[in-house]
Chain A
Amino acid sequence: MVYDGIIFGLIVGFFRGGLRHGLVQFSNIRLKAGWIFPLLLVFQFLMYDIQERSSTVAAASGYIYIAVYVVGLIFLWLNRHNKGFWLILTGVFLNFLVMLVNGGRMPVSYEAASVLDPVYLQMLKSGDAVTKHFLLDASTRLPFLGDIIPLSSPYPRTQAISIGDVVMNLGIFLYLLNIMTPAAVDLKSQPKVQG
């Protein structure tokens, strides 16, 4: 779900701002401590890889993800003056919160997961999923922040997402749209006198 906001933002941005303008604007993005973001991404992929081989790392994966989230939140906080970043920050924080109170893993509701591939559902049920997700049950804290929203047709992708994901993607979408569209001409810029 991380990418949906980016994709939609890019599509709408190119439509509204034009390809050229959009690309020029895109190359002008300057974020504080911008190197953190790709680093976190690479780190996550490394984690997937290591988790499968090392059981100790797998056991501690919850805490490692928490740490990743904290770094990510700091990065977002530094850039909060950008449009949309407040929403991204809120969304990521909501996801972080539910993972924090649930031992570093994201709860997925059964109903939401039922739109997914049955293989994945089976993996969740058996509890031996090595990813950062687990099946939501009565003991789960803050269940409403978990992956409970099923996405399926007519939406082009089949997924279970959380409200944090939605808010975060909305933020990403607004951010991209804002940098890629030229400033709209204000209707009210003329001196306004009411008759």
Chain B
Amino acid sequence: MSKLKSLAATLDSGHMYALSICLIGMSLFSYTNRFEFIHYETSTWVWIYAMTGACLILNFFMIQLPPEGNELSMDSSVYLACIFTFGTGFSLTVLLMNCLFFAIIDRNTSWWKHLTNFSIYCIMITVSAALFQYLGGNPGALVNTKLFTYLIVLTVYFAANTLLVGLYYYILYRGTLFETIKDIIKDSVFVFLCTLALSLVLTVLVYHNQILGLMLFMCLSVLLSQSFKKLFAMYRSIEDRANTDQRTGLYNHSYFEEVLEQEIQKSRSSGAPLSLAMIDLDDFKKYNDHFGHLQGDKLISFVGEMLKTESQKSGTVAARYGGEEFTLLMPGYDSLQARDYIDQLRKKLNNSSFDGVEIFPLGCLAFSAGIAACSLDIHDKSQLVDQADQALYYSKRQGKNTVHTYGMHSPLEQELDFSQDVRDIEQQLNLFMYKDMETFRHSKRVFRYAMDISELLDIDSISKRNFTLGALIHDIGKLEIPWNILNKKDKLAPEEWEMVKWHVTWGKKMALTNDKFKELAPYIELHHERYDGKGYPYGFKGEEIPRLCRMLTIIDSFDAMTTERPYQPTKSFEEAIIELRACAGSQFDPELTEFFIEYIETREHRTGDTAV
């Protein structure tokens, strides 16, 4: 409500300002011009027409400057030349005619804006013309000795313009007046200098060569505007080239990152859906190896060309992400629409012919794609890219030439995949059976805890999978620790302890060898980090450690405390809970610790059973 009120207040003051400008402008006009045009000779009218025409043409052929949307019109030079050659009343008549015609041509702009514009010009012309007269200037030829006077008049004209327009923006947007005016001056010094030189040139030309002089001036201005237009087009093409990938003509990686950032912002502020697709050509390496890089490049540009035309048709942004990977940013598409659209693209590519497609397993060009939709919990653009990448990885694993949306596999599929993953990891863990039975059992128990906890935590299915599998595999690095250290009954020597610490790093390296387990690496590597930063291997602190890794640390320690270990006495659950509480805030995340304790207590209460 208060927002509405302040908006109304702004509008009001803006309107009030416009109204007062209009009143001042129109009274100045009637006082200075006194409607003298009623009594003009026909020859004067001819000049009025000529000057009005010149203004209109200059308004049409604006000088375009980079960046986009920055234009300047040189009609002020005509008004100033009119003041210098014909006098104030004449200039005002030209202004009136110009504004009348312009209002007729530009019917889209509301009348009061035209009126305000007219009034602002009225004030500028009257003030500078009065100054011109005060300084002893007479309408007519340019006087060589009075150049300084002209300069002052031009400066005042410019200053009046800056002040009037600056005040308007100040009232409208509530900036600081000084800053606003500074900005305007910075932007328009070039305009000022142009106008200055041109008005003096026009004065000379009109006085000595009349209409021919005016025509020459117009030719010059129009040509100038055309060459600036060319320059601007060149600027744009260079800008485009910097943003495109040379091989495919698509946008390049860095430009994509830039657009992604903007589109995420836009989608967040407007609430419009936004989807990102990551596309990877299937078996491109095979094609490259078979036909050589040159032919491979041709394939890349062929696919790029297709994506480009398709994206232009649908208003999406296609970029080459790198190698045979492409991204497609789809503003206004939710994940379903995006899926349909990408699937259509995939079919289209399947049906397009290209040399040597017979070597592909499917006998046609194909890509796998992953789609991620932007949602509110995405804070960073890399998160969205990551999700699309994971979805892409999933569709690759599903046998390629498919499109998959992040977080959308069917529960059954998910279950199957998950049990497959568990089986895979268990195979690795079976090695512990002969090396260290206790680690084997510990991993299984921690896995069970993690399964339970992941049900209670509010996390998506992918995090759930990673968390539970991570719990299962977290001690895999211990396989590298020699038998005698692993099974030592006495206290470990410092160098042996150092070796035990290495298991997190070795474990991570093992996980990274398999694409499937890449995402589990953080759980393996960081489960000995402490909340206060005194853990290993990095000494991360608090939020630096991912939340679920902090959770795993708690489970891991709890299980270590409550089971028999070679170098530790066993604790009961109650004792372990006390110990956990004692270490909450130092070793463990206090919030998650409470969460875990609550879980253990309700479980104990429910089952009344201490064994796992």
A binding-site residues for B, Cβ under 8 Å: 90, 109, 111-112, 136, 143-144, 146, 148-150, 154, 163, 166, 187, 190-195
Known A-B contacts A109-B42, A194-B68; the reply to A187 vs B233 at CB < 8 A is yes
| In contact, A193 and B259 (Cβ under 8 angstroms) | yes
Q: Mark B27-55, 1 if CB is under 8 A from A, else 0.
A: 00000000001001011011011000100
| In contact, A163 and B49 (Cβ under 8 angstroms) | yes
In the assembled complex, the CB of A188 is this many whole angstroms from the nearest CB of chain B, namely 8
Q: Mark B58-81, 1 if CB is under 8 A from A, else 0.
A: 000000000110000000000000
> CA–CA, A190 to B236, complex, Å?
11
| In contact, B49 and A149 (Cβ under 8 angstroms) | yes
Q: Mark B314-358, 1 if CB is under 8 A from A, else 0.
A: 010100000000000000000000000000000000000000000
Contacts of B233 in A (CB 8 A): 187
| In contact, A192 and B68 (Cβ under 8 angstroms) | yes
Contacts of A194 in B (CB 8 A): 67-68
Contacts of A149 in B (CB 8 A): 46, 49
Q: Which of B222-254 contact A (CB under 8 A)?
A: 233, 236, 239-240, 243
6 nearest A-B pairs in the assembled complex, by CB-CB distance: A148-B42, A109-B42, A144-B45, A149-B46, A193-B259, A163-B49
Contacts of B37 in A (CB 8 A): 144
Contacts of B45 in A (CB 8 A): 143-144, 148, 163
Of all chain B residues, the one with the shortest Cβ separation from A163 is B49
| In contact, A193 and B262 (Cβ under 8 angstroms) | yes
13 A-B residue contacts at CB 8 Å? A90-B104, A109-B42, A111-B42, A136-B42, A143-B45, A144-B37, A148-B46, A163-B49, A187-B236, A191-B317, A193-B259, A194-B67, A195-B243
Contacts of B212 in A (CB 8 A): 154
B490, CB-defined interface residue at 8 Å? no
Of all chain A residues, the one with the shortest Cβ separation from B311 is A191
Interface size for chain B: under 10, 10 to 19, 20 to 34, or 35 or more residues?
20 to 34
In the assembled complex, the CB of A152 is this many whole angstroms from the nearest CB of chain B, namely 10
> CA–CA, A188 to B179, complex, Å?
32
> CA–CA, A18 to B234, complex, Å?
26
B258, CB-defined interface residue at 8 Å? yes
Of all chain A residues, the one with the shortest Cβ separation from B45 is A144
Contacts of A193 in B (CB 8 A): 258-259, 262, 317
Contacts of A109 in B (CB 8 A): 42-43
B binding-site residues for A, Cβ under 8 Å: 37, 40, 42-43, 45-46, 48-49, 53, 67-68, 104, 212, 233, 236, 239-240, 243, 258-259, 262, 312, 315, 317
| In contact, B317 and A146 (Cβ under 8 angstroms) | no
| In contact, A150 and B259 (Cβ under 8 angstroms) | no
| In contact, A191 and B315 (Cβ under 8 angstroms) | yes
| In contact, A144 and B40 (Cβ under 8 angstroms) | yes
Contacts of A148 in B (CB 8 A): 42-43, 45-46
> CA–CA, A192 to B212, complex, Å?
42
Contacts of B48 in A (CB 8 A): 144
With A109-B42, A143-B42, A150-B46 known, 9 other A-B pairs at CB within 8 A are: A144-B37, A148-B43, A190-B240, A191-B315, A193-B258, A193-B317, A194-B67, A194-B68, A195-B239
> CA–CA, A163 to B50, complex, Å?
10
| In contact, B258 and A195 (Cβ under 8 angstroms) | yes
In the assembled complex, the CB of A176 is this many whole angstroms from the nearest CB of chain B, namely 18
> CA–CA, A87 to B246, complex, Å?
47
Contacts of B240 in A (CB 8 A): 190
In the assembled complex, the CB of A148 is this many whole angstroms from the nearest CB of chain B, namely 4
Contacts of A166 in B (CB 8 A): 49, 53
In the assembled complex, the CB of A186 is this many whole angstroms from the nearest CB of chain B, namely 12
In the assembled complex, the CB of B212 is this many whole angstroms from the nearest CB of chain A, namely 7
In the assembled complex, the CB of B255 is this many whole angstroms from the nearest CB of chain A, namely 8
In the assembled complex, the CB of B93 is this many whole angstroms from the nearest CB of chain A, namely 11
> CA–CA, A149 to B42, complex, Å?
8
| In contact, B236 and A144 (Cβ under 8 angstroms) | no
Of all chain B residues, the one with the shortest Cβ separation from A143 is B42
Contacts of A163 in B (CB 8 A): 45, 49
In the assembled complex, the CB of A69 is this many whole angstroms from the nearest CB of chain B, namely 20
Contacts of A144 in B (CB 8 A): 37, 40, 42, 45, 48
> CA–CA, A148 to B48, complex, Å?
12
Partner of A111, one of B40, B43, B259: B43
> CA–CA, A117 to B357, complex, Å?
81
> CA–CA, A111 to B46, complex, Å?
11
Contacts of A190 in B (CB 8 A): 240, 312
Contacts of A195 in B (CB 8 A): 239, 243, 258
Known A-B contacts A163-B49, A191-B317, A193-B259; the reply to A146 vs B236 at CB < 8 A is no
| In contact, B42 and A146 (Cβ under 8 angstroms) | yes
> CA–CA, A90 to B107, complex, Å?
14
> CA–CA, A166 to B56, complex, Å?
13
> CA–CA, A163 to B43, complex, Å?
13
| In contact, B42 and A112 (Cβ under 8 angstroms) | yes
Contacts of B49 in A (CB 8 A): 149, 163, 166
Interface centre among B37, B42, B68, B312 (most CB of A within 10 A): B42
In the assembled complex, the CB of A158 is this many whole angstroms from the nearest CB of chain B, namely 14
> CA–CA, A148 to B50, complex, Å?
12
In the assembled complex, the CB of B265 is this many whole angstroms from the nearest CB of chain A, namely 12
> CA–CA, A187 to B46, complex, Å?
38
Of all chain A residues, the one with the shortest Cβ separation from B53 is A166
Contacts of B43 in A (CB 8 A): 109, 111, 148
In the assembled complex, the CB of A46 is this many whole angstroms from the nearest CB of chain B, namely 32
> CA–CA, A195 to B236, complex, Å?
12
> CA–CA, A193 to B317, complex, Å?
10
In the assembled complex, the CB of A161 is this many whole angstroms from the nearest CB of chain B, namely 10
Of all chain B residues, the one with the shortest Cβ separation from A145 is B45
Contacts of A150 in B (CB 8 A): 46
Of all chain B residues, the one with the shortest Cβ separation from A189 is B312
